[in-house]
Chains A and B, each alone.
Chain A
Amino acid sequence: MRREDFPILDLMVHGKQLVYLDNAASSQMPQQVIDRLVHYQNFEHANIHRGVHYLSDMATTAYEGAREKVRKFLNAKESREIVFTKGTTEAINLVMHGYGRKFLKEGDEIILSGLEHHANIVPWQMLAQEKGIRIRVIPMNDDGELLQEEFAKLFNANTKLLALTHVSNALGTVNPVKEMIAHAHRMNVPVLIDGAQAAPHHRVDVQDLDCDFYAFSGHKMCGPTGIGILYGKAEFLEKMQPYQGGGDMILSVSFEKTEYNVIPYKFEAGTPPIAAAIGLGAAIDYLSEIGLDVIEAKEKELLDYATEKVKKLPYVRIIGTAKKKAAVLSFEIEGVHPHDVGTILDTEGVAIRTGHHCAQPVMQRFCVPATARASFAFYNTLEEVDKLVAAIEKVQEVFG
């Protein structure tokens, strides 16, 4: 599907046609987004919100236009609920600082899940250490699904935040976030959702989910690196403290007193990555034109096909077998370390990720030091899945 839009997919590596199956780490960029970046640099670039000149107006309009595209993409109520960050990681750190540091105190508790990426663990641990906060973890079953009964038991009067991934990057598990958010809200607990692996692959409606915060990255959804989004309900963003100080985030400054700007600008200190934000807007246009439903269906087809084929190899164990899964296939080849798998696949042109996927607690849960992970995007093909399987067979040939 529209493979020709992605020039990088024509690349030859080690003399083989590239088979790019590391989309969960970072996706590739279509020509339309590349063109948008070039157009911006050639015809629209200046600093934003600052000049009265033509180019500054152009850049500001394009940048704010991108914010509106993100609002629509998430179905947020207002565009001032969309904060540009440099990625999911920064978005979560922003909430830790802006909300956590301001409102949480000693004795409070934060609930995380066992599926979290380090980006949604470490900031909360930093806060916990600083304040004397307790972190509680939702356990999972052997398929990599969170245990809902255990989840409900973790709440008490001290619970002040639930920070939860929408989709696991290590296993692909899609969490029932809507129900979990509803439960947290019944307990008066606000919820942050890490949507890094969800936003690129299926439709996200933050009003329907009713999450209080939603974070994701541009580079995992055909956009540039260096740009990400924090969605926050206006009522939350307004009461939070700024994350960084500097230009653009203030209304007035004197040495006696500084008055902060309104949201979202309060959280966007300094010159932002303007081109990257506009590129993200273009990526959203691109994905929306194809349709998130079409993307989801195509990726499901790829995952189902790959799962079925890999299951037939007796020396391969699939890790992460949740009923609802995104297009992530984590696996282990009996007796072969994932890094050796990765190197041999690479020499066949097949790019996958090996390692702990920044989710060491998940690795510990499944008693593996690391896994090999193939992750698919809508521009992948069934033939590429066949090449993956053939490369896995080659690993077995070498090590078997």
Chain B
Amino acid sequence: MSEMRALYQEVILDHNKKPRNWGAIDGANRHAEGHNPLCGDHVKLTMNVAEGKIESIAFEGVGCAICKASASMMTGAVKGKPVEEADLLVEEFRGMATGSLDPEQSHLGRLKVFAGVRDLPSRVKCAILPWHTLHAALHSEESVSTEGASDPVPGE
């Protein structure tokens, strides 16, 4: 039970039930879609980036609680931040979820509630998918799908 509670903490359950920044932004200048073909998780991210800053961000899609809460808390964490800061969080979040980074040595703050996924290899992808999608949206001109080759699987 303790192990389960470690992952399904109140804050994650709450973001799952009431996702923040839910929806799509009309006329967004950045967007990307992330798929996890294995389990059907699907995240659609839209945002406006101006002068190197994420001015607005929204997401929608279907997914498990881990994926949805991760996306919800991610949007909250990067909204209003410079792109470089978002990039750093992407890198740190992926490091934490895959066990290569000690969350205490990071800037992840509240996002540390996801540290528990590193002990559940089958769920790491669920937590990382929104971040992977954010990375794609920030660094490409057009919409991309993260399905297939760039899917964050083995080794990560």
Chain A residues proximal to chain B, CB less than 8 Å: 14, 336-340, 343-344, 347, 354-356, 363, 369-370, 398-399
Contact = CB atoms under 8 A, between A and B. Distances in A.
B8 A339 contact: no
A339 B64 contact: yes
B149 interface: no
Contact of A369 (B3, B4, B62, B66): B62
A399 B13 contact: yes
B40 A343 contact: no
A340 B40 contact: no
Among B64, B66, B122, chain A packs the most CB atoms within 10 A around the CB of B64
A342 to B, nearest CB: 8
Contacts of A337: 63-65, 67
A363 B41 CA distance: 14
Contacts of A363: 40
B39 interface: yes
A339 B4 contact: no
B113 to A, nearest CB: 15
Interface in B1-34: 1, 3-4, 7-8, 13
Nearest to B62: A369
Contacts of A354: 39
Nearest to B119: A14
Contacts of B7: 343
B120 interface: yes
A322 to B, nearest CB: 24
B4 A399 contact: no
Contacts of B53: none
B39 A343 contact: no
A344 B39 contact: no
Among B8, B40, B41, B67, chain A packs the most CB atoms within 10 A around the CB of B40
B3 A340 contact: no
Contact of B123 (A14, A339, A398): A339
Contacts of B122: 343
Contacts of B123: 339, 343
Contacts of A398: 4, 8, 13
Nearest to A347: B4
A218 B8 CA distance: 38
Contact of A340 (B1, B38, B42, B66): B66
Nearest to B8: A398
Contact of B40 (A344, A347, A370, A399): A370
Nearest to B1: A347
B64 A340 contact: yes
B8 A14 contact: no
Given A339-B126, A355-B38, A399-B13, A344 B8 contact: yes
B65 A399 contact: yes
B8 A340 contact: yes
A344 B5 CA distance: 9
A337 B16 CA distance: 10
B65 A347 contact: no
Nearest to A342: B122
A315 to B, nearest CB: 15
Contact of A336 (B3, B38, B65): B65
Interface in B117-139: 120, 122-123, 126
B61 to A, nearest CB: 10
Contacts of A339: 39, 41, 64, 66, 123, 126
A361 to B, nearest CB: 13
